[in-house]
Copies of this chain bind each other. A is one copy, B any other.
Amino acid sequence: MNTKKRNLRWDTMRILAGGFLGTIFLGAFLLWLPICNNEPITFLDSLFTSTTAVCVTGLVTIVPATQFTLLGKVILLLLIQIGGLGIIACTTGFFILIKKKITISERVIISETYSSDGPGGMVKMVRRAVLGTFFVEAVGAAVYACYFIPHYGVINGIGYSVFHSISAFCNAGIDILGSTSFAEFVHNPLININTMLLIILGGIGFIVWFDIVDNGKRIRKHEVPKKWWFTRLNLHSKIALTTTAIMLVAGTLAILFFEYNNPETMGKFSVGDKIMSAAFQSVTTRTAGYFTLPQNVLHNETKLFGAIWMFIGGSPGGTAGGIKTTTIAMLVLTAIAVIRGGEDTECFGRKISKSNFRTGFAVSLLAMIIYLVGTMAIVMIESDSVPVIDIIYETASASGTVGLTANLTPNLQKTSQIVLIGMMYLGRIGPLTFALVFGGRRHAASQIRELPERNILVG
């Protein structure tokens, strides 16, 4: 049983890591074909683009709008959608479509990925996630269309609407408008609000969706009262929602405070547009990658703040990157528990298990090490004239799969770009597989022996 469980964990990791890698190289090959390109492309550029799409990051070394033909753009969109839903959900969705009975082993893998209550409702759950994704993306595209069709004609308008809705929901942040992302829509509330909602919905994770929807159903059926609906959500949803809300509001206020008088960003805007652009920047920084404000002229403090927010990222089980909202909440709550003298990490009247905390801590430390090593490497490769703050911004963006850029990525050395490819890949699959493969494991030795305990001095 133990060996079986262990093998399952390794299988999970192999499928995730190998699936992502295979998709990336397949995509790189396809995007490298002349039929996909309007102008010649190096394999490194097509590999970078495929990685950025599958890992839903958004950093680019080329300009997709002009680089790719229609076919290239369709392939790019498919890579984004595959990356966003996750290899496993796609595989399962594929199984469902061809009505092949899903094996128990595959069910368990998906169960671990989306942490539901067992392999029972698994197929149903993946179908819900896939259908939910398509539904939200369709609504988002319809809203975009209200602006894009009048402005770009029917054919182009629909194309733009579908592409950017999928890219926003999957938190990919890749656009086919040009090289300034959503900057031209900085004063347009429709595009701003629609994009923010798509990003937030994609970044909050399926578990939270399902929890809210199921809770809503029970309220509609009068099985439970409407009052206190929040307290009936599971602990994961409560923490993800609360942390997301805190980070969005705090981020908006911080960016507003830092950039209020910056003439190169929002300095000359009306107060309303200042707030809207700060809110957009706050939403996009967490994981999305679209931008309305030029990123390279942000103040240094905004970039540093952004790098921290990018490192934390969105919520698990969705399309977001970073160490995740729930992880940072758990770390902070544990520090508070230590200060208060509690044995347990407490939250909303529940305690979080010690092994859960240890997994979250290990995920964070690993992410920190990947981030620091990658940043060190690029700082070393580039000359001292490249501002370190821009490298910090770019590597946080890559490892948090965010995609915001201080206009640095296209101008980096080839070796630095390869480091960024590695960071995007590890940033996307690292925390997830780490939590899946190692979370709650117990190796055989620890069950049969007991070591003497010692304390050491800290601090």
Contacts and interface: CB of A to CB of B under 8 A. Distances in A.
Contact of A326 (B299, B384, B458): B458
Contacts of A326: 456-458
A361 interface: yes
**Oligomer copy total:** 2
A343 B388 contact: no
A90 interface: no
Interface stretch (A91-99, A270-278, A431-439): A431-439
Given A376-B304, A379-B304, A458-B330, A343 B355 contact: yes
A438 B352 contact: no
A457 B316 contact: yes
A340 interface: yes
A205 B458 CA distance: 12
Contacts of A236: 454, 456-457
Interface stretch (A31-39, A63-71, A133-141, A445-453): A445-453
Contacts of A305: 376
B331 A441 contact: no
Interface in A319-356: 323-324, 326-327, 330-332, 334-335, 337-344, 346, 349-356
A439 B346 CA distance: 18
A446 B300 contact: no
Contact of A350 (B239, B335, B451): B451
Interface string A359-382: 111110110000010011001100
Nearest to A378: B301
Nearest to A208: B457
A342 B304 contact: no
A264 to B, nearest CB: 10
Nearest to A457: B316
Contact of A324 (B235, B303, B459): B459
Contacts of A3: none
Interface residues of A, number: 83
B361 A301 contact: no
Contacts of A392: 388
A448 to B, nearest CB: 12
A339 to B, nearest CB: 5
B115 A457 contact: yes
Interface in A273-319: 299-301, 303-305, 308, 316-317
B459 A360 contact: yes
Contact of A365 (B235, B332, B358, B379): B332
A36 B236 CA distance: 61
Contacts of A339: 362, 438
Contact of A352 (B205, B299, B323, B455): B455
Centre residue among A342, A389, A430, A454 by max chain B CB count within 10 A: A454
A236 B351 CA distance: 31
A336 B458 CA distance: 19
A335 B439 CA distance: 11
8 contacts: A301-B376, A316-B457, A332-B365, A335-B365, A343-B355, A351-B451, A387-B388, A432-B459
Interface of A: 115, 205, 207, 234-236, 239, 258, 299-301, 303-305, 308, 316-317, 323-324, 326-327, 330-332, 334-335, 337-344, 346, 349-356, 358-363, 365-366, 372, 375-376, 379-380, 384, 387-389, 392, 430-432, 434-436, 438-439, 441-443, 445-446, 451-459
Given A235-B454, A300-B379, 17 more contacts: A207-B457, A235-B456, A326-B456, A334-B361, A335-B362, A339-B438, A340-B443, A342-B442, A342-B446, A344-B451, A350-B453, A356-B455, A356-B456, A356-B458, A388-B388, A435-B457, A435-B459
